Structures are given as structure tokens and as C-alpha cells.
Amino acid sequence: GENVEQHPSTLSVQEGDSAVIKCTYSDSASNYFPWYKQELGKRPQLIIDIRSNVGEKKDQRIAVTLNKTAKHFSLHITETQPEDSAVYFCAASIGAGNMLTFGGGTRLMVKP
């Protein structure tokens, strides 16, 4: 089955700096890669996703890149703010209706 690895497990940045979180996946059939933000005690919230027919997608301060050949994808957050502090999870799926396999999570701390 699919295996998703995520790095780093913790990331501390100064407010205004950029943060990058990286994930690798094992199943070449995976074609949908969402990113979720989870604040303490809350539900995972979808923040951005990318599909395998696209190499990069951007939404304001957040961008995701995908390298299908290397089977890795990354989340980039620019101009970080304290409210970006949370745990971020990457995930992979073979498509709509199919299970998500999650990475281990990255605890992002943005210091004011």
C-alpha cells in the first residue's frame, strides 16, 4: 500500500520567514495530494491540494509543488504569521472517493 513520509517533524521559523515542508510517497498510482492544517484539538482543515497533472499551485501565501518522477511534493508558506502555527499533514490518494494516506505531520511554530 501507499506510504507517505513527511519532513521535518518540527519546524520553527521567525515571523515573516518562509517555511517548507516536504513529503514523499511510494505508490506511483497516487494522483491527488492534499495538505491539511490542524490546530490543537481541532479538525484537519484542507488548505490546498494538487493533482498529478499539475506541477505547482499557489493560493496567496501558500504554494504546493509536485514532482511525479521523484514522487515528492512540498508545501511552501511565505511571510509566515503566528497564526500559521499548527500541525501540517500531507496526504496522498489514488483519486476521488479513495482513502487518504497521511504523512506523520509537521509541527510548525512561528515565533513573533
Partner 1 sequence: EPEVTQTPSHQVTQMGQEVILRCVPISNHLYFYWYRQILGQKVEFLVSFYNNEISEKSEIFDDQFSVERPDGSNFTLKIRSTKLEDSAMYFCASSDPSGRGEQFFGPGTRLTVL
Q: Do 60 and 106 form a contact (C-beta atoms < 8 A)?
A: no
State the nearest-atom distance from the C-beta of 108 to partner 1, in Å: 15
Rounded alpha-carbon distances, angstroms, from residue 14 to 11, 89, 112: 10, 21, 6
State the minimum distance, in angstroms, from the CB of residue 105 to partner 1: 5
Q: Which of residues 7 and 102 has its CB atom nearest to partner 1 in the complex?
A: 102
**Residue from 104, 85, 106 nearest 10 by CA:** 106
C-beta of 13 vs 49, nearer to partner 1: 49
The C-alpha cell 482543515 sits at 45
- Contacting residues toward partner 1, per CB under 8 A: 32, 34, 36, 42-46, 49, 89, 91, 93, 95-105
Nearer to partner 1, 19 or 36 (CB): 36
In whole angstroms, the minimum distance from the beta carbon of 10 to partner 1 comes to: 12
For residue 61, give the C-alpha cell: 501565501
